[in-house]
Chains A and B, each alone.
Chain A
Amino acid sequence: MKTKKEIISIKDLSFVYQKELILHEFSLSVIKGDFLGLIGPNGSGKTTLLKIILGLLEPTSGKVKLLSKKIGYVAQKAGFASSGFPITVEEVISMAGGKAKEIERVLELTGIASKRKRLLNELSGGQQQRVFIARALLHKPELLILDEPTVGIDSEAQNKFYELLRKLNREQGLTIILVSHDLDTVEKKVDKIINLGKR
């Protein structure tokens, strides 16, 4: 029987911003291989929690222990995706470094190999998100964090998107934390739900 390896351990985490309590004594344990949905309405502290996990914010109190430094991150909406700047799929991915062989691997893995020479702004919202996932996967992360990845994407593309995440979770053993405000959709797609709104 496999031993369950903890990948993130958060204990009694609190975060105060401009005298407002955003997170209060929040605890969470993420196990390797988890496909976790972190949900809650706007202002519930989801993005704050992500930024603390990613090391972009310091908690006011509490402990955050990351047992893997190999983290891939897909932001809520990459600003340049709809900017009109001429940047190809390959260029977006290679920004993060990596050799041609590695870039090829993530292009295949995310199913966008045929779009490599296309401009990012010519792709649909769902395809653009695949590009950002491909970039996040370049350095073989153990944990993939996605912040509201399906905002502005139609339901068919959303289904395909969740299929890709499920494939990465099962076949690659990737631990996934997905942040969303859409409880109805996310609870059908992930294995565990943490609802920040109920805290």
Chain B
Amino acid sequence: MEIFQYSFMIRALIAGLIVAVIAPLIGNFLLIRRFSMVADTLSHIALAGVAIGLLTHTQPILITTILTSMVAILIEKIRTSQKIAGETVLAMFLPGGLAVSIILISLANGFNSNLFSYLFGSITTVSSAEIWPMLILALISLAIVILLYRPLIFSSFDEEGAKLSGINTKLMGYVLMTLTAITVSLAMRVVGILLIGALMVIPSVTGMKIAKSFKQSFFYAIAFAMAAVLIGLVGAFYLNIPAGGAIVLVSLAIFGLTSVSLSK
């Protein structure tokens, strides 16, 4: 295919496929915790990380990973204290992240094209230097999920039961939130800060509609996310439209087609 003659498209495809594996993998756990909105909240925190990065001329992905991880742990700490409901915590942190971002962006003399590439994604401008940290972070996340699969699934489905079985449910909560933060940081260049939540949730929801076991739902979710990245990227190239938006729209189309075929 013509598009794969361009090295920037090869890099875009690699970055997209990395995110397509990790985003639904973590998204599945968030869905069963009924905490999928945390991805959107953390993406607004990520915007503040990007603004700090641009303001201080440091690598935004590094700052974003550290900042979103810290806030993710703080959100989990407040949620498990049971003094404030989980969704209320998210409703506070989401505008909080946005407010900090707006102030920082104004200090950095407003919007520029670099900031837009994080807001809406700019997968075709991903550099080789960005691919490697993405791959390493993704592999670490994957290894953690494989190693902690049983305690993660038990504490996500049934927190009280897991606690009584001797599982450190608090630790599992922190691990999952940190993995979510890492995923948000990885995905922001691919689909953009404003669309990350969609890539973490839509393929997982679609996978769960047709899966015949929880393990199977991971495979379907990853396959749907990969298909969305591939079709979205090719479509964006030929139609000259933004790749992030195209990927999410394809993801939604797969969900729609799956729902229609199941209802027949």
* Residue from the list B150, B157, B165, B216 in contact with A80, Cβ < 8 A: B157
- Residues from chain B with a CB closer than 8 A to the CB of A75 are 158, 160-161
Map CB proximity to A onto B147-185 as digits: 1 under 8 Å, 0 otherwise: 000100110011011111100000000000000000000
Map CB proximity to A onto B179-216 as digits: 1 under 8 Å, 0 otherwise: 00000000000000000000000000000100111111
Q: Which of A92, A95, A96 has the most chain B CB within a 10 Å cutoff? A: A95
* Residue from the list A56, A95, A96 in contact with B160, Cβ < 8 A: A56
Map CB proximity to A onto B127-148 as digits: 1 under 8 Å, 0 otherwise: 0000000000000000000000
Q: Complex: how many Å from CA A152 to CA B46? A: 45
Q: Are A80 and B163 closer than 8 Å at their CB atoms?
A: no
- Residues from chain A with a CB closer than 8 A to the CB of B162 are 95
Q: Are B161 and A119 closer than 8 Å at their CB atoms?
A: no
Q: Complex: how many Å from CA A91 to CA B153? A: 10
- Residues from chain B with a CB closer than 8 A to the CB of A79 are 158
Q: Are B158 and A119 closer than 8 Å at their CB atoms?
A: no
Map CB proximity to A onto B216-245 as digits: 1 under 8 Å, 0 otherwise: 110000000000000000000000000000
Q: Complex: how many Å from CA A54 to CA B161? A: 11
* Residue from the list A56, A71, A86, A117 in contact with B211, Cβ < 8 A: A86
* Residue from the list B153, B161, B212 in contact with A86, Cβ < 8 A: B212
Q: A73-B164, A75-B160 are in contact. Are A95 and B150 (CB under 8 A)?
A: yes
- Residues from chain A with a CB closer than 8 A to the CB of B253 are none
Q: What is the number of residues of chain A that contact chain B, defined by CB distance less than 8 Å?
A: 24
Q: Are B214 and A87 closer than 8 Å at their CB atoms?
A: yes
| Residues of A86-113 whose CB lies within 8 A of B | 86-88, 91-92, 94-97
- Residues from chain B with a CB closer than 8 A to the CB of A54 are 164
| Residues of A162-196 whose CB lies within 8 A of B | none
Map CB proximity to B onto A114-133 as digits: 1 under 8 Å, 0 otherwise: 00010100000000000000
- Residues from chain A with a CB closer than 8 A to the CB of B154 are 95-96
Query: Is B32 close to A, CB under 8 A?
Result: yes
Map CB proximity to B onto A38-62 as digits: 1 under 8 Å, 0 otherwise: 0000000000000000101000000
Map CB proximity to B onto A134-174 as digits: 1 under 8 Å, 0 otherwise: 01000100000000000000000000000000000000000
Q: Are A91 and B150 closer than 8 Å at their CB atoms?
A: no
- Residues from chain A with a CB closer than 8 A to the CB of B213 are 86-88, 91, 117, 119
A79 CB to nearest chain B CB (Å) = 7
Q: Complex: how many Å from CA A85 to CA B214? A: 8
Query: Is A67 close to B, CB under 8 A?
Result: no
Q: Are A78 and B161 closer than 8 Å at their CB atoms?
A: yes
- Residues from chain B with a CB closer than 8 A to the CB of A135 are 161
Q: Complex: how many Å from CA A97 to CA B167? A: 11
Q: Are B208 and A85 closer than 8 Å at their CB atoms?
A: yes
* Residue from the list A86, A97, A139 in contact with B208, Cβ < 8 A: A86
Q: Complex: how many Å from CA A54 to CA B31? A: 28
B98 CB to nearest chain A CB (Å) = 31
Map CB proximity to A onto B31-74 as digits: 1 under 8 Å, 0 otherwise: 11000000000000000000000000000000000000000000
- Residues from chain B with a CB closer than 8 A to the CB of A80 are 32, 157-158
Q: Complex: how many Å from CA A85 to CA B209? A: 8
Closest 4 CB pairs of A and B: A95-B154, A86-B211, A87-B214, A88-B213
Residues of B within 8 A of A (CB): 31-32, 150, 153-154, 157-158, 160-165, 208, 211-217
Q: A78-B157, A85-B32, A87-B214 are in contact. List 15 more A-B contacts (CB 8 A).
A: A56-B160, A78-B158, A80-B157, A83-B32, A85-B217, A86-B211, A86-B213, A86-B214, A86-B216, A91-B214, A94-B150, A96-B154, A97-B150, A97-B165, A135-B161
19 inter-chain pairs at a CB distance below 8 angstroms, sorted by A residue, are A73-B164, A75-B160, A80-B157, A83-B32, A84-B208, A85-B214, A85-B217, A86-B212, A86-B214, A91-B153, A91-B214, A91-B215, A94-B150, A95-B153, A95-B157, A95-B158, A95-B161, A97-B150, A117-B212
